[in-house]
């Protein structure tokens, strides 16, 4: 008498030998894809309804399957779901438990459906929920930056290029420069949603569904914006995962660049900001140290997200059409990217909300040489070409350096020795507040323009 296996895998009818235990472990994805349990059950409930609509299930069978799936979901939520050794992934685990609860009727649920279109649906459905959470976190970060900028418009500081002092700006202008990068990230994330929200369910293994299930009904039931128009594309497409991780790589790059600025500004040499204790650590050997570890971690995490994206692209680049098991490698990098990005948004928001800003220290860093451009513009207003006034201003800077004094400490005679158009009113140039307020064009650091920027960002948050 032939020995019968005590437990047969869902795909096991073709096979007579046993799976190598190492191969089973190598193939198993439940340890990480179980976090999609709710998406998988939601897709199965919708599919049961679609099967009932075409007569594959009776209304009573549909009810029993839906009730069974609801019970399975509750077990996951309550932490009582018992994983079996033969559960390969979240799909087989849920179907196995459903069959235990309602008997052989559970086997009808897979009619016309493949794990190929099932997993693609689960991934999209799960990611849609996560994207909305990431969007909320990104908005929270932008909002705290906007509110802080609104309250701290009086603080002046040097603006830097090449990490050299360039021109006077407002602290709020600096803060909003990063907020606008995040606003662009918000727009890109929102534009990505329709490309995630494409229903694969009903594509079968690759050749479509033979029972004429209503895929538009499925899309509406699950909240998808559209239906995958080609079944081969439907089961194999993972561009939405790559695109999300590309989006995340850019968003994390923006977080990293802001973190770098704040790390520099928090040094004793600058002293512009101090991070709260909640987002700092000390040194194991140097008692005086207060390290900006939160910002350094944010800077480091950007590389991690980019690595997830580039690694998965290497998995995709040589795959033949439709489903290949290589695609199982989509989950871990995506899950890690989502977790990292979500946490980073929250940490960045906390850092910005709680850090102390030292306005007096910023003002002390403003030296008169940052008004050299204003000096050139003074002569422009008297009709002198800018190329000439730039040269004159440069000579004035050189003269002040030679005299070891500030620009405003040169005499009127000194200025007139450089150009005859200088007059007593040249000394009105040497006013940091006036310099900032002269920049009234859109995008400038004047109060009026900052209020405009804040209004634009608040409008983006309200959408």
CA distance 48 to 50: 5
pTM: 0.90
Tell me the per-residue pLDDT of 65-77, one tens digit each, with 9 for 90 and over: 999 999 999 999 9
Beta bridge partners, 281, equal: 291
Q: Residue 9's pLDDT is what?
A: 55
Q: Residue 398's pLDDT is what?
A: 96
Statement: residue 400 has pLDDT above 90: yes
CA distance 283 to 293: 11
CA distance 173 to 273: 15
The three-point CA angle 24-26-32 to 5° equals: 105
Tell me the per-residue pLDDT of 106-154, one tens digit each, with 9 for 90 and over: 999 999 999 999 999 999 999 999 999 999 999 999 999 999 999 999 9
- Which of the four pLDDT bands, split at 50, 70 and 90, describes residue 228? very high
Q: State the chain's mean pLDDT as an integer.
A: 93
Q: What is the CATH number of domain 116-160+168-210+225-364?
A: 1.20.200.10
Q: Residue 29's pLDDT is what?
A: 81
CA distance 392 to 221: 71
Statement: residue 383 has pLDDT above 90: yes
Q: Residue 85's pLDDT is what?
A: 87
* pLDDT (average), residues 241-269: 97
* pLDDT (average), residues 94-114: 96
Statement: residue 13 has pLDDT above 60: no
Residue 90: both structure tokens together: 């979240």
* pLDDT (average), residues 40-68: 98
User: Could you state, in order of their start, the residue ranges of all structural domains in the chain?
Assistant: 22-111, 116-160+168-210+225-364, 368-430
Do 87 and 33 form a contact (C-beta atoms < 8 A)? no
* pLDDT (average), residues 336-365: 97
What CATH number matches the domain at 368-430, 3.90.1170.50, 1.10.1040.10, 1.10.40.30, 1.20.1250.20?
1.10.40.30
* pLDDT (average), residues 376-395: 95
CA distance 386 to 13: 83
SS3 of 78, please?
helix
Do 74 and 66 form a contact (C-beta atoms < 8 A)? no
Q: Residue 11's pLDDT is what?
A: 47
Do 389 and 422 form a contact (C-beta atoms < 8 A)? no
CA distance 192 to 162: 34
SS3 of 86, please?
coil
- Residue 291 DSSP one-character state: B
Q: Residue 86's pLDDT is what?
A: 87
Quote the distance between the C-alpha of residue 310 and its chain's center: 16
Q: Residue 300's pLDDT is what?
A: 97
- Which of the four pLDDT bands, split at 50, 70 and 90, describes residue 6? very low
Q: Lowest mean pLDDT: which of 1-5, 21-25, 51-55, 459-463?
A: 1-5
Q: Residue 290's pLDDT is what?
A: 80
Statement: residue 8 has pLDDT above 60: no
Phi, psi of 158, deg, nearest 5? -75, 140
Do 143 and 116 form a contact (C-beta atoms < 8 A)? no
Pairing assessment for the beta strands 156-161 and 164-170 based on DSSP bridges: antiparallel
Residue-wise DSSP of 167-182: EEEEHHHHHHHHHHHH
- Which of the four pLDDT bands, split at 50, 70 and 90, describes residue 247? very high
Strands (DSSP E) along 275-396, which ranges?
A: 356-357
Tell me the per-residue pLDDT of 274-324, one tens digit each, with 9 for 90 and over: 999 999 876 666 656 688 999 999 999 999 999 999 999 999 999 999 999
Statement: residue 193 has pLDDT above 90: yes
Residue-wise DSSP of 310-334: HHHHHHHTT--SS--GGGGGGHHHH
Do 201 and 46 form a contact (C-beta atoms < 8 A)? yes
Statement: residue 387 has pLDDT above 70: yes
- Which of the four pLDDT bands, split at 50, 70 and 90, describes residue 21? confident
Pairing assessment for the beta strands 273-274 and 356-357 based on DSSP bridges: antiparallel
Radius of gyration of the chain from Cα atoms? Answer: 31
Which positions are catalytic?
Answer: 162, 283
The pLDDT > 70 percentage for the chain reads: 94
Q: Residue 286's pLDDT is what?
A: 67
- Which of the four pLDDT bands, split at 50, 70 and 90, describes residue 3? very low
Q: What is the CATH number of domain 22-111?
A: 1.10.275.10
- Residue 266 DSSP one-character state: T
Do 335 and 127 form a contact (C-beta atoms < 8 A)? no
Tell me the per-residue pLDDT of 412-429, one tens digit each, with 9 for 90 and over: 999 999 999 999 999 999
Phi, psi of 284, deg, nearest 5? -75, -15
CA distance 135 to 287: 39
């Amino acid at each position: 008498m032939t020995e019968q296996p005590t437990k047969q895998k869902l795909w096991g009818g073709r096979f007579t030998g046993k799976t190598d235990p190492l191969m089973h472990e190598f193939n198993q994805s439940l340890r990480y894809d179980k976090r999609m349990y709710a998406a998988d059950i939601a897709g199965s409930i919708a599919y049961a309804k679609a099967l009932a609509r075409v007569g594959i299930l009776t209304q009573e069978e549909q009810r029993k399957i839906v009730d069974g799936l609801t019970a399975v979901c509750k077990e996951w939520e309550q932490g009582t779901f018992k994983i079996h050794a033969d559960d390969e992934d979240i799909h087989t685990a849920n179907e196995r438990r459903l069959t235990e609860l309602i008997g052989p009727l559970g086997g009808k649920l897979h009619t016309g459906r493949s794990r190929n279109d099932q997993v693609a649906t689960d991934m999209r459905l799960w990611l849609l929920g996560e994207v909305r959470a990431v969007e909320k976190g990104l908005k929270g970060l932008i909002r705290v930056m906007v509110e802080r900028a609104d309250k701290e418009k009086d603080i002046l500081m040097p603006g830097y290029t090449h990490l050299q002092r360039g021109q006077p700006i407002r602290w709020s202008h600096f803060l909003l420069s990063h907020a606008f990068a995040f606003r662009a990230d918000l727009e890109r994330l929102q534009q990505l949603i329709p490309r995630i929200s494409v229903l694969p369910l009903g594509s079968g293994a690759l050749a479509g569904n033979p029972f004429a299930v209503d895929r538009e009904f499925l899309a509406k039931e699950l909240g998808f914006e559209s239906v995958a128009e080609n079944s081969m594309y439907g089961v194999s497409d993972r561009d939405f995962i790559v695109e999300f991780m590309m989006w995340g790589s850019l968003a994390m790059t923006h977080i990293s660049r802001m973190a770098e600025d704040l790390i520099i500004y928090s040094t004793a040499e600058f002293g512009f900001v101090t991070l709260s204790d909640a987002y700092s650590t000390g040194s194991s050997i140097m008692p005086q140290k207060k390290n900006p570890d939160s910002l350094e971690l944010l800077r480091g995490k950007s590389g991690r997200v980019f690595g997830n994206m580039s690694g998965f692209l290497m998995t995709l680049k040589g795959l033949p059409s439709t489903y290949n098991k290589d695609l199982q490698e989509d989950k871990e990098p995506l899950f890690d990217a989502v977790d990292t990005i979500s946490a980073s948004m929250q940490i960045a928001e906390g850092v910005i909300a709680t850090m102390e800003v030292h306005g007096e220290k910023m003002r002390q860093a403003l030296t008169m040489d940052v008004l050299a451009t204003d000096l050139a513009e003074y002569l422009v207003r008297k009709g002198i070409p800018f190329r000439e006034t730039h040269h004159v201003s440069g000579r004035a800077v050189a003269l002040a350096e030679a005299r070891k004094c500030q620009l405003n400490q040169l005499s009127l005679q000194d200025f007139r020795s450089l150009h005859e158009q200088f007059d007593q009113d040249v000394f009105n140039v040497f006013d940091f507040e006036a310099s900032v307020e002269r920049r009234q064009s859109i995008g400038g650091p004047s109060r009026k323009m900052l209020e405009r920027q804040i209004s634009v960002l608040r409008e983006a948050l309200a959408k």
